[in-house]
Structure 1
């Protein structure tokens, strides 16, 4: 295995969702200076789902025009678009225009849509491209995808995003005669939002450079030899070998059609590899949609509700450690890839159980169980870590399984990831943003009166 190829695959994967993940972690600073305020997360949720037109187009092309679309030009276009959009965001995110009688952050919303198109389309283009390399590099790619959330979170932590200082409200409002108690005061950031968006643009440049090297570096090309290639890329020698192979397969098929040995139709795979039956593949895709709905939409939408009642430190610890758990799960899967469907189901049930506890805590905010106890803080932080760890492992193993099923399987893998995320977001948006079923806790006043 080539260390260089592993590094490039990781850097390539980091560019998959780094732009939108970076936008989310920067929200506490962004919302303070735009007219939309904290309604922006709701707008972003809708914008990201609208951006699924990209994956829909790619998936339909693979379905109705198989082999007609090469992912590489598409990847070059979307990554270049990501570089330009994040750079423009650094300079225009605060610009507003008057629309329908009110100030609107049109530039921010339009650029966010373009970045969403980039990241959503990466799900159905980056994974199929990884078919050009060996299966061991797919796990490294998933590790990089996990780092696409961790790296912006760590940079935002250094920046001081969302950090508040609890000060006596009597001191804060002494000039106006305010009451007592503690009041949350936002601390100034260590560097500007503009610098953060420039950092995201640099990350997209790194992703583009890694992709170029994965296509053209001689060491990577040598590593890619011996693996399956896309149609239309075979050399003359490869085609002769395939002709001999097909001739042999034809003879074998004639013998298999004999009455004494009927073909095992119940084991035929949708993607032609024959490793898993249609029912098993349906189960795998169902688990994939469920896991991504939970990890990408349902639970992240209530993270603040589940953690802030225990204090600001608990919130930041849970968010940071959960981000660390994602790449850790990828590294575990790299060395212990357990492909058992039964084990996958058990991990999904366990991860869903932790998610159910987190959801129950969020629903009981601002007075969840053990709100005034250190054990409450420990339980919610550990629950977030184990929730992300178990379900991230499931996602990686499903990716490895579908990689063996072929190029088309990875295209549908990306499509199902986006479908599950979209259904989760659509389910949670009215509960959180319309009906207001979840109440936020106060990071400075955690006590509840019975």
Structure 2
């Protein structure tokens, strides 16, 4: 296990780090905004508890974007299409965020049921561009020095943190269950707050037939309860409006797109940032595949490197020779011709040895930084597994794992998960892990805590400790720890793959999307087809 603290002397610029972070914020800000708004959305929209599973499976159709991007990269290996793609992504995601603000609550009938067609259509559109960021943004980072790779992940994580902090300030309204009765003067009803598992019995004196109950709340659904003395009694749940609306929440996310667009322009064109650009041809050293289309580029790159190395060696030899001549002139003026010849021969030998040792050290460093093909595929497999769990499957069942403990804990779980994500990414800026054993251990521990979440969700709506505060605290703790471990392992793998070149980063993005797709399909089938996860009515 090897940890290294990154020094400040890494020849990177703080301003470029900031711009890279701003670029990464746009990547998943809309999708993360949807997730942190779920405590409000599941109450207002007709899908209810199954809404997360619908959103998760719809997002997987967004893999069309990465597939098209991968095909273009394969067909046009000499063209770096990631830069124009990044511009298209930023503009498209900004527009989607603005449209969410105005259309999120629109419903349309499909068959005999109503569905949130507008919200789901926008989710499909923005997921295509958001999913492409996993490949396009990482490929774009190959144009910058390796020191900046962690910053793009910090930005991607902040795309979850910023919506989470905004949602905390939003303060979702309470859900209340009230009676709707006739022909009865006294009835006991259940009043349920955010923690709907804790009920308070209230005695209300009602006025009798024709009574109307006034409220400033939104009525979302009702459930028939019982008949008392021939009179019908039912419970309706009312939802108070949050401190600021969902509309303004998404418009705030749209404003972030403007900052990301500006940062992308500066990263490409500003002289301050141009000094941090690198030649990607020298880094296309991926060992995962051998494609003829890349062979010619590789040969050209090797030829250029040979010329540059030869020029460097000649300069190095010239410098050493000059220093030796100065030494001869100052210390050996009185030596005879034979001594001069001896020194000259020694200088030539010294020059050759110095050049040989320099080239040998460079070759050794390059070999130590390279992964074998088996190691590369192993890390990509771990990355797919992590994303299957953390990015799609457990998120789809988050409502089943935490909402049985109360809306308060569900709200806390959605916010905590998005807050811990950037913190874990931020740690990778100082703590580097390169050992495959340590990465495997982190993945195993993250999997164990994810397993706890899955077990609790499978027991919904009556998991253990369901009526105790300790149960809610445990599930939030499980979400925090599993997210921290999985995200740290995920970013660490990406950092290791960054050292393998541009094509390796493209494969890293592909592995990310593959794992996410598998997890989403499994979650949708288990929730909506097999009904392995059960929900519960509000009242």
Secondary structure at 1:180's aligned position in 2? strand
Task: Write the mapping of 1:387-406 to structure 2, written as runs, cut at 5 A.
Answer: 387-406=482-501
Higher helix proportion, which one? Answer: 1
- Equivalent residue, structure 2, for 1:235: none
- Equivalent residue, structure 1, for 2:280: 229
CA distance in structure 1 between the aligned counterparts of 2:253 and 2:241, rounded to whole angstroms: 21
- Equivalent residue, structure 2, for 1:242: 305
CA distance in structure 2 between the aligned counterparts of 1:306 and 1:107, rounded to whole angstroms: 27
- Equivalent residue, structure 2, for 1:187: 240
Secondary structure at 1:66's aligned position in 2? coil
- Equivalent residue, structure 1, for 2:428: 333
* Partner residue of 1:351 out of 439, 446, 449: 446
Task: Write the mapping of 1:12-411 to structure 2, written as runs, cut at 5 A.
Answer: 12-30=23-41, 40-95=51-106, 105-161=116-172, 163-165=173-175, 169=177, 172-173=178-179, 175-176=181-182, 179-184=188-193, 185-222=238-275, 224-225=276-277, 227-229=278-280, 242-245=305-308, 275-411=370-506
Secondary structure at 2:462's aligned position in 1? coil
Secondary structure at 2:192's aligned position in 1? strand
Task: Write the mapping of 1:410-429 to structure 2, written as runs, cut at 5 A.
Answer: 410-429=505-524
* Partner residue of 2:531 out of 407, 419, 436: 436
CA contact (8 A) 2:161 2:418 kept: yes
Mark the CA change 1:441 to 1:392 in structure 2 (over 3 Å): closer, same or farther.
Answer: farther
CA contact (8 A) 2:280 2:502 kept: no
Gaps of 5+ in 1: 232-237, 249-268, 445-450
What are the superposed Cα offsets for residues 109-147 of structure 1, whole Å, 9 maximum, x if unpaired?
Answer: 332222111101111100111112222211121111111
What are the superposed Cα offsets for residues 232-286 of structure 1, whole Å, 9 maximum, x if unpaired?
Answer: xxxxxx99963514779xxxxxxxxxxxxxxxxxxxx9xx997111111111000
Shift of 1:180: 3.0
Shift of 1:391: 0.7
State the TM-score, normalized to the length of structure 2. Answer: 0.70
For these two proteins, the number of residue pairs brought into alignment is 411
Mark the CA change 1:274 to 1:61 in structure 2 (over 3 Å): closer, same or farther.
Answer: farther
Mark the CA change 1:309 to 1:58 in structure 2 (over 3 Å): closer, same or farther.
Answer: same
CA distance in structure 2 between the aligned counterparts of 1:242 and 1:360, rounded to whole angstroms: 55
What are the superposed Cα offsets for residues 380-432 of structure 1, whole Å, 9 maximum, x if unpaired?
Answer: 22211110001100011111011100000111111110110000000110111
Secondary structure at 2:433's aligned position in 1? coil
The worse-fitting range, judged by mean Cα deviation, of 393-402 and 193-202 is: 193-202
Secondary structure at 1:369's aligned position in 2? coil
Higher Cα radius of gyration: 2
CA contact (8 A) 2:394 2:454 kept: yes
CA distance in structure 1 between the aligned counterparts of 2:265 and 2:254, rounded to whole angstroms: 17
Secondary structure at 1:173's aligned position in 2? strand
Gaps of 5+ in 2: 1-11, 194-237, 283-300, 312-365
Shift of 1:312: 2.7
State the TM-score, normalized to the length of structure 1. Answer: 0.83
CA contact (8 A) 2:53 2:397 kept: no
**RMSD of the alignment, in Å?**
3.0
The worse-fitting range, judged by mean Cα deviation, of 311-320 and 191-200 is: 311-320
CA distance in structure 1 between the aligned counterparts of 2:403 and 2:420, rounded to whole angstroms: 20
Secondary structure at 2:401's aligned position in 1? helix
Higher strand proportion, which one? Answer: 2
CA distance in structure 2 between the aligned counterparts of 1:359 and 1:32, rounded to whole angstroms: 23
- Equivalent residue, structure 2, for 1:255: none
Secondary structure at 1:328's aligned position in 2? helix
What are the superposed Cα offsets for residues 171-206 of structure 1, whole Å, 9 maximum, x if unpaired?
Answer: x21645665334354221112222112112111222
CA distance in structure 2 between the aligned counterparts of 1:381 and 1:110, rounded to whole angstroms: 31
